[in-house]
Structure 1
Amino acid sequence: MGAVSRHADAVVLALNSGSSSLKYGLYAVAGSYPTLLLGDVIETTDDHGVFFDTVSIALRKANASAPTVIGHRIVHGGPHRDRHCLIDDAVLADLEAACAFAPLHGRASLALIRMAQARYPALPQVACFDTAFHAGMPDVAKALPIPRAYRADGVRRYGFHGLSCESILRQLGDDMPARLVIAHLGNGASVTAVLDGRSIDTSMGLTPSGGVVMATRTGDLDPGVLLFLLREKAMPAAALATMIDHASGMMGVSGLSSDMRRLRDAAATDADATLAIRMFQRSVCKQVAAMAASLGGIDILVLTGGIGENDAATTQAIRDGLAWLPALRITTIPSQEDEQIALHAAWLCSGSKPDHFL
């Protein structure tokens, strides 16, 4: 592994924090080509210092080149950050404010950034926003059907999984169709309509909790359900938040697991596991059909994410559920969020980002 080619523009440590794990990758970036030097997934602990200790030991054991820039995946950029950018005090202040929209993801990301700054004080740090890809959506997609006064507070549809969507477009290259739908299906799941390379609609809204039925998140839900729980069950706000994000979706319906593999294993004898799977699959098909309406048709549907890439039964169910769409091509492409982080971090530091990349 050792030294990086002298042609590399940057060596990027890409950090991708999830709800239960931290993924890192060390990439050598030359032009538009990220090369993975080293990477791993580490279970989340409350002490990010342990994470960086583990990364430092791994880099040393592999005799890997030292990073020259650090890139962070940020789930929610809030109303003031719609482009990937170098992190400074103003950016940190905006990220702090954006925690109101995604407190679970936002707080974890801020803690990781601050620890990275303490460990690597001389290195530039870059924020890569999952919301940035959707920033140019038209008003009919961005606006939510609530009193317009709330728009001033940033209450609108943001959309997520933007780095994953960007990576799909990059991999498609010249084969990208005019009307593309990307279904990122994993622990979190969303469906995005892409017209001529630009996001025009997406299933997630103000937060990453809406849209498709997910592993533990509700997806779209009649707001009357929440009012009922508040009014009739006196459910506290914190308990309601836990239910929406951690105890619902396939986990809540099945009462068994949020893991598609375990649900598949149990489906033969467990009716609730089967129901959870069927609800997930139906939800994806409904969202794809909605994106077809936004696009005026679909040329290609791309499945990506852990379930989208690996669960053949889900792929077949989606094919069957969308068989009425004429001549629909469905393909699977791996999500490359970390590679996308590496590219953006290298380009922002060098100022040489190619015009044809997002």
Structure 2
Amino acid sequence: MSDAILVVNAGSSSIKFSVFLDRDGERAIDPLLSGQLEGVTTAPRFRARDAAGTLVAEQHWTQPLGHNGAVEHIADFLREPLSVHRLAAVGHRVVHGGLAFAAPVRLTPAIVAQLEQLIPLAPLHQPHNLAPIKTLLTNHPHLPQVACFDTAFHRGQTEIAQAFALPPVITERGVRRYGFHGLSYEYVASVLPDYDARAAQGRTVVLHLGNGASACAIADGKSVASTMGFTAVDGLPMGTRCGNLDPGVLLYLMDEMQMDVRAIETLIYKESGLLGVSGVSSDMRTLLESAEPRAQFAIELFVYRIALALGSLAAALGGLDAIIFTAGIGEHAAPIRERVCRAAAWLGVTLDPAANNAARGAARISTADSRTAAWVIPTNEELMIAGQTRDLLSRLP
């Protein structure tokens, strides 16, 4: 019998899960199965696959399940595959750790209460991250649970990199740049030596491009600067989030369009980004296939803003040895990678078009003589969470 670690990533409309086996005496953590339940508040769809990627379960509903119902269904599904293993712990992705949490932590009701205070900083994510934690604390109080934070990887940045130009009476309340997608960046940094030792020891910009998008400057495996700041709405344009925005625009919306706080929140989180600019979709695949001029404009804006961020982050690093593409768009949208690499030619990137188009999984997409390397490296936040969960619990009495 092996110990099993369940990893849960609960979002606003979906719950993703993975199960890993921690075999006694072995360093590696082996995947057992993974799945997700999407559309939990609309028309739920459940799929699960084994470690080889084979579909082992699928179910659809016509009525919403809600997050509690989704958690119950996943728990029922896991009962059989976990019957021959010992569920040792549950690791959770928690978007915001604030000032108090710069490393994984074992969850207690008191810590959950602290994390609830951070909901205003991540209103789309934090409440849903915490929901299954609270359910498990109630129903299985002795089951170890660990929170792994998307902000933690960036907490080692300098005070200057984390600071806003605001009075201390505000910044001392925790108003600063936190950065997000840290679990993804930490994973990529941990495996980069396997692919490019020079980049791993040098200066790299990782582009986490998905429905949520950001970029991070990494030097010798450590976060130096990130495009996301106080909240996960900052930085690059995303699927439905606006990204970087002049604060004066918000004042204009309040004064001239009579928008209140909740209306502005909906606008910048749910109605902007690729969806808002294109008027077509938040999905890059749909936009790339669309002949609609606004769809093409949204793509051009997305690439342009990435190119600006590359220049800024290269400046923070004092040079650049590699750029890495990861997450859904970064791993699968060759046309976006091509446009970004073309825009980064001045930084020493020479794209290999054939390698870019053929890239499946981890692959170098720049030419052999490119001064700055370009890579695609798939992220694996779930594996990072499983490893952090195991390592923390092994240190606790």
Q: Output aligned runs, 1:96-175, within 5 Å.
A: 96-173=116-193, 175=197
From 334, 337, 352, the counterpart of 2:381: 337
Indicate conservation of the 8 Å contact 1:134/1:199, yes or no.
Answer: yes
Q: Secondary structure at the match of 1:207?
A: coil
Indicate conservation of the 8 Å contact 1:305/1:335, yes or no.
Answer: yes
Question: Structure 2: how far apart are the matches of 1:15 and 1:110?
Answer: 10
Length-normalised TM-score, structure 1:
0.92
Asked if 1:270 corresponds to 2:313, the answer is no
Asked if 1:321 corresponds to 2:343, the answer is yes
Question: Which residue number corresponds to residue 13 of structure 1?
Answer: 6
One-letter amino acid of the structure 1 residue matched with residue 202 of structure 2 = A
Question: Which residue number corresponds to residue 238 of structure 2?
Answer: 214
Asked if 1:288 corresponds to 2:310, the answer is yes
Asked if 1:26 corresponds to 2:34, the answer is no
One-letter amino acid of the structure 2 residue matched with residue 11 of structure 1 = A
Give how far 1:288 is off.
1.4
One-letter amino acid of the structure 1 residue matched with residue 190 of structure 2 = R
Q: Output aligned runs, 1:222-237, within 5 Å.
A: 222-237=246-261
Indicate conservation of the 8 Å contact 2:71/2:132, yes or no.
Answer: no
Gap change, CA 1:256 and 1:225, over 3 Å in 2: same
One-letter amino acid of the structure 2 residue matched with residue 58 of structure 1 = F
Deviations 1:20-69 (A, max 9, x none): 21100011135542211111011234633322322233223445524210
One-letter amino acid of the structure 2 residue matched with residue 180 of structure 1 = T
* Higher RCO (CA-CA < 8 Å; seq separation 6+): 1
Indicate conservation of the 8 Å contact 1:86/1:127, yes or no.
Answer: yes
Deviations 1:207-239 (A, max 9, x none): 000000111001001111111000111101101
Give how far 1:117 is off.
1.9
From 214, 217, 223, the counterpart of 1:199: 223
One-letter amino acid of the structure 2 residue matched with residue 160 of structure 1 = F
Count of residues paired in the alignment: 343
One-letter amino acid of the structure 2 residue matched with residue 287 of structure 1 = A
Indicate conservation of the 8 Å contact 2:190/2:221, yes or no.
Answer: no
Question: Structure 1: how far apart are the matches of 2:302 and 2:162?
Answer: 24
From 98, 101, 111, the counterpart of 1:78: 98
Question: Which residue number corresponds to residue 188 of structure 1?
Answer: 212
Question: Structure 2: how far apart are the matches of 1:263 and 1:41?
Answer: 25
Give how far 1:263 is off.
0.6
One-letter amino acid of the structure 2 residue matched with residue 163 of structure 1 = L
Gap change, CA 1:234 and 1:166, over 3 Å in 2: same
Indicate conservation of the 8 Å contact 1:156/1:206, yes or no.
Answer: yes
Structure 2: gaps (5+ residues): 42-64, 349-370
Q: Secondary structure at the match of 2:35?
A: strand
One-letter amino acid of the structure 2 residue matched with residue 49 of structure 1 = N
Q: CA RMSD in A?
A: 1.6
Length-normalised TM-score, structure 2:
0.83
Structure 1: gaps (5+ residues): 5-9, 353-358
Q: Secondary structure at the match of 1:334?
A: coil
338-347 or 86-95, which deviates more: 86-95
Asked if 1:35 corresponds to 2:30, the answer is yes
